[in-house]
Amino acid sequence: MAIVLITGGARSGKSRRAEARARACPGRPVYIATAEALDAEMEARIAQHRSRRGNDWIEREAPLDLAQALTETDGGGARLVDCLTLWLSNLLHAGRNWSDETALLTAALSRQQSPVILVTNEVGLGIVPDNALARTFRDAAGLLNQRVAEVADEVEFVVAGLPMKVK
Amino acid sequence: MAIVLITGGARSGKSRRAEARARACPGRPVYIATAEALDAEMEARIAQHRSRRGNDWIEREAPLDLAQALTETDGGGARLVDCLTLWLSNLLHAGRNWSDETALLTAALSRQQSPVILVTNEVGLGIVPDNALARTFRDAAGLLNQRVAEVADEVEFVVAGLPMKVK
Amino acid sequence: MAIVLITGGARSGKSRRAEARARACPGRPVYIATAEALDAEMEARIAQHRSRRGNDWIEREAPLDLAQALTETDGGGARLVDCLTLWLSNLLHAGRNWSDETALLTAALSRQQSPVILVTNEVGLGIVPDNALARTFRDAAGLLNQRVAEVADEVEFVVAGLPMKVK
């Protein structure tokens, strides 16, 4: 196992599954958070994830420069990136070109020595959103998932806390 | 087979699949409806489900006290609970603590002698909803599905009327 | 392989998967588009799909009369129908009875000599939509998918560009 993509819906148990996979790798696991605690709702979720993980993780924030964070943390335990959908949202808010950044990410992934477990969300299985911005976001999220899945060694789709093997 | 969770999207054929599984068990099947006919749209859907099922089912309504309904109907044919997502919605409207109620449900499930087939919905695979109430609901629905899946012997994800094995 | 249904979320790689399957069949593939270029967003997407497919496809538009288009193009290469969800939307806008039209479609599918690959969307795995029209649409879309899946020889659920076997 080198690169694993874990996808699924909201609260489907993706992060917990990803944590289990990262812990199963040798070395001290590294948690790479793309979330920034910008509001109370997000802060509460971050705190909850942290309390579940425990204190033995190396923690790092990478709201934008994910490829760089992977490169700098390579050589030790597995890295858990949680999550790509939030990273995409951060990139769009910062005015970055998500497609170029995704190319940097997949290139970085192909150079990693230590395992990387990436969590992402499926956001395209509901009714077409009314507003164009939401449509643009879900299109980008779908394409991002495809590109990362292409370079991943394994892809899992998590339903009700249980992984289904996709690749 | 003892506890089976059937999940999937709206109109994916979950109920029909669950009915087939319940009928395949010995004894007269019991239909435990969490729905209440509060408006015309719901009434029409309930009538449609009933006409498809046929008249040989024992019917029972349990909008809130699901654990109790399971305990009281144990010992005969399989129970079909349709569905958990509506039950969650009922709990929230009634001001009940869904997490405590879910603990009562999973405890009751572990004590059943006769099979239980539970239908639930995946609601977390679309764009993040605008309003906080909908986000809270889909978070709770995802966690509820995880907890029931954990105690289930089998979990199926239904796509276009066809079951995919998850557990 | 005769009738293949490819389903999945927005931008999950359904069309690309369907194109690969159609190309793998003997004969010159036929692209049956249910889309009409009514606005700039749609026009851009059609152009993008066409540029990816290449120029060796026979192209045909069938926004409404899909059964007829299949009958008229039978006997050569595989037909790719892209997509059923848009076809459903066209039927509803034109005031046609989608259920009757679906019966015509499944009857036509059962008579085909050459393969047919049909692309459709999962739209029922998000939060229940606020407005009744969207609920009606997702109900119809779910039922349409079930009926076509019933007559299909193969059904695939595409996640992050990767097919999961459903049937």
Q: What does the pLDDT read at residue C51? A: 86
| B2-17 tens-digit pLDDT | 999 999 999 999 999 9
Is the Cβ of B12 closer than 8 Å to some Cβ of chain A? no
A137/B contact by beta carbon, under 8 A: yes
Distance CA A1, CA A18 (A): 13
Give the active site residues of A. Answer: 49
Mean pLDDT over residues A13-32, rounded? 96
CB proximity A129 to B under 8 Å: yes
ipTM metric: 0.94
Per DSSP, helices labelled H in A4-97 are: 14-23, 40-53, 66-72, 84-93
Q: CB of C34 within 8 A of CB of C85? A: no
A83 in reach of chain B (CB within 8 A): no
- Please indicate if any CB of chain C lies within 8 Å of the CB of B79: no
Give catalytic status of residue C93 as yes or no.
no
Cβ-based contacts of C153 with chain B (< 8 Å): none
Nearest-CA distance from C11 to chain A in Å?
Answer: 5
Give the residue, A1 or C107, on which the prediction is more confident: C107
Integer Cα distance of A146 and A62 in angstroms: 21
User: How does residue B112 score in pLDDT terms, banded at 50, 70 and 90?
Assistant: very high
How high does pLDDT run on average in chain A? 95
Nearest to A166 among C11, C126, C162 (CB): C162
Given the structure tokens 């997490």, which residue do they identify?
A: B99
The secondary structure of residue A95, as a DSSP letter, is T
Average pLDDT value for residue range B20-29: 96
Residue A42 has pLDDT above 70, yes or no: yes
Taking CB atoms and an 8 Å cut-off, how many pairs form between chains A and C? 74
| Least CB–CB distance from C9: residue in B13, B125, B162 | B125
How far are the Cα atoms of A124, C40, C122, C131 from residue A140, in angstroms, in the given order? Answer: 10, 18, 18, 26
User: Which residue among A126, A160, A162 sits closest to B126, beta carbon to beta carbon?
Assistant: A126
Q: Torsions phi, psi of B60, nearest 5?
A: -150, 140
What integer pLDDT is reported at residue B41 of this predicted model? Answer: 80
Over range B115-143, report the average pLDDT: 96
Q: What local confidence, expressed as pLDDT, does residue A1 receive?
A: 59
Predicted local distance difference test score (pLDDT) of residue B1 = 59
Q: How far is CA C56 from CA B109, C46, C62, C154, in A?
A: 58, 16, 19, 25
For B140, which residue in chain A has the nearest alpha carbon?
A: A11
C window 142-161, beta carbon within 8 A of A: 159-161
Chains touching A (3+ CB pairs < 8 Å): B, C
CB contact under 8 A, C143 and B41: no
pLDDT of residue A117: 98
d(CA A48, CA C84): 42
Set of chain A residues whose Cβ sits within 8 Å of the Cβ of B125: 8-10, 122-126
Is B139 in CB contact (< 8 Å) with chain A? yes
pLDDT at residue C1 in the model: 59
- Contact of B138 with chain A, judged by CB distance below 8 Å, is answered with yes
**Cβ–Cβ contact C105 with B under 8 A:** no
Class assignment of domain A3-165? alpha beta
Name every chain C residue with its beta carbon within 8 A of the beta carbon of A157: 159, 164
The residue ranking higher by pLDDT, A107 or C50, is A107
Grouping H, G, I as helix, E, B as strand and the rest as coil, residue A102 is: helix
Amino acid in position B3: I
* B contact residues 85-104, partner C, Cβ 8 Å cutoff: none
User: By mean pLDDT, which of B50-54, B86-90, B118-122, C58-62 is the weakest?
Assistant: B50-54
What is residue C162's three-state secondary structure? strand
B99: its two tokens: 């997490």
* CB-CB neighbors (< 8 A) of B160 in chain C: 5, 7, 120, 145-146, 148-149, 155, 166
pLDDT in single tens digits along all 167 residues of chain C: 599 999 999 999 999 999 999 999 999 999 999 998 778 887 887 788 888 888 899 999 999 999 999 999 999 999 999 999 999 999 999 999 999 999 999 999 999 999 999 999 999 999 999 999 999 999 999 999 999 999 999 999 999 999 999 99
Give which of A162, A7, A42, C159 is closest to B7, Cα–Cα.
Answer: A162
Residue-wise pLDDT tens digits, A79-96? 999 999 999 999 999 999
Structure confidence at residue B49 (pLDDT): 80
Exactly one of C16, C36, C46, C49 is catalytic; name it: C49
Asked if the model's pLDDT at residue A78 lies above 80, the reply is yes
Minimal Cα–Cα distance from C77 to chain A, Å? 28
> Using one digit for the tens of pLDDT, what is the confidence trace for B91-100?
999 999 999 9
